[in-house]
Amino acid sequence: MKIYSREELNEYFLSLTFDDISLIPTEISGIKSRTEANTQTIFLERELALPVISSPMDTVTGIEMSNELDKLGCLGVLNRFDSSLEKLLSAEEGTEGVHAVSVGVNTEERIIEKLSSQGMIICIDTANANNTKVLSKCEEIKKKYNAKVIVGNIACGSTLRDLENSGADAVRIGIGGGSVCTTSIQTGIGIGQVSSILDVYFAKQKEGLKIELIADGGIKNPGDVAKALALGADAVMLGRMLAGTFEAPGEVIKYNDQLWKKYRGSASFGVKMKNEFIEGEETMIPYKGHVVNVINAISDGLRSAMSYMNSFNLDELKEKNTFAVLSNSSYLERLPKK
Ligand code: IMP
């Protein structure tokens, strides 16, 4: 069997995504129980119990989701499409758990000033970070305020130095991989998520950069979270996995004797509400109950992966460098059968 290192996976001739690879345990693990595996991390100088960040989408992160994720030791990035930001600015609801907010390139100066003065992480939420407008917005914010800035998204590492030079503290990696994203279909742009993460990871290593890496899009289960972190991401950003929960904005809908919630792309018609170029879909997903259940499942899955991989903490998981590339049949074999 060929065991691949990150370097070799990065040179694999086809672009890879999460279902194309798996982690291979190659050592006798010293971890007696998965509770010994520690998933804590420091992300943008904040302590997280689990490096999970919610997508700044209007069906994923409102104030309630941000507050709950904060309690669970994760990070919610408030969306910029509904009234959440206004509520936050007028402090109508409890805001103590909101540490990160998204803004657009045209968001008013006074809003950014207020958010920065409250110590918030600012996420410049765009489809393509590789744009002079995004870079100059980032530069402007970093020059004027003492705020941490997340930019995104990128598909490869070729511009990572430019992003870091503009002051960006973290970057969202992934174009075309989101579960309600139609970018690749509409434009032909995008790379498999594993190859995207690795390309950026190696650009960062090679150039000695500090920018923190967020694997964003296409993460479907706790195993994908473990893979993304083992590949070199500092944190994962989740849309669909957190959508459909009690804390996600939107109503629970009863249809065909089942409970559902809406989940839609930020560039979908439902968000844009005008006849612009659409790069996102709108769908219904089964209602999942409280988000704590999803977070606990991720935490359990990740700690179990760490136990297999003989990793007491996430730094140790990153040091492991043993992956398999799966054929389609190997992937199918891994799935439970009815
Ligand atoms: P998911 O976790 O696979 O559902 O992906 C969530 C990610 O999809 C978000 O964090 C964004 O990066 C991306 N995304 C959100 N809305 C859109 C859209 O309308 N078009 C393309 N990508 C989107």
Cβ pair 190, 277 in contact under 8 A = no
Which residue ranges have their beta carbon within 6 Å of ligand 1? 55, 57, 153, 172, 174, 178-181, 183, 216-219, 237-240, 265-268, 279-280
Of the CA atoms within 13 Å of residue 81, those in its CB half-sphere come to 22
pLDDT in tens, 89-133: 887 555 678 999 999 999 999 999 999 999 999 999 999 999 999
Non-local (6+) Cβ contacts of 303 within 8 A are: 34, 35, 37, 39
Nearest CA to ligand 1 atom 13: 178
pLDDT in tens, 67-101: 999 999 999 999 999 999 988 888 755 567 899 99
pLDDT in tens, 2-51: 899 999 999 888 999 999 999 999 999 999 999 999 999 999 999 999 99
Six-digit token string for 125: 């939420």
The span from the CA of 321 to the CA of 34, in Å, is: 20
Pairing, β 253-255 against β 258-264? antiparallel
The gap from C-alpha 207 to its chain's centroid, in whole angstroms, comes to: 23
pTM of the model: 0.97
DSSP, collapsed to helix, strand or coil, labels residue 282 as strand
How far apart are the CA of 60 and the centre of ligand 1, in A? 11
* CA distances from residue 40 to 211, 235, 302 in whole angstroms, order as listed: 19, 11, 11
Domain membership flag for residue 207 = yes
Domain membership flag for residue 139 = yes
pLDDT score for 12: 86
Cβ pair 205, 184 in contact under 8 A = no
Nearest CA to ligand 1 atom 16: 265
Q: How many domains does the chain have?
A: 1
Cβ pair 163, 143 in contact under 8 A = no
Which ligand 1 atom is the nearest neighbour of the CA of 237?
Answer: 10
Domain membership flag for residue 4 = no
Non-local (6+) Cβ contacts of 243 within 8 A are: 57, 59, 60, 261, 263, 285
Which ligand 1 atom is the nearest neighbour of the CA of 218?
Answer: 3
pLDDT in tens, 195-252: 999 999 999 999 999 999 999 999 999 999 999 999 999 999 999 999 999 999 999 9
Domain membership flag for residue 146 = yes
How far apart are the CA of 128 and the centre of ligand 1, in A? 12
Domain membership flag for residue 328 = no
The gap from C-alpha 195 to its chain's centroid, in whole angstroms, comes to: 16
Mean pLDDT over 46-68 rounds to: 98
Element (H, E) at 135: helix 132-144
How far apart are the CA of 9 and the centre of ligand 1, in A? 25
Domain membership flag for residue 329 = no
Domain membership flag for residue 11 = no
Neighbour-count burial of 43, counting CB atoms closer than 10 A to its CB (0-12 exposed, 13-18 middle, 19+ buried): buried
Domain membership flag for residue 242 = yes
Non-local (6+) Cβ contacts of 285 within 8 A are: 240, 243, 244, 260, 261, 263
Domain of residue 181 covers 28-313
The span from the CA of 201 to the CA of 195, in Å, is: 10
DSSP 2: P
Which CATH number does the domain housing residue 296 bear?
3.20.20.70
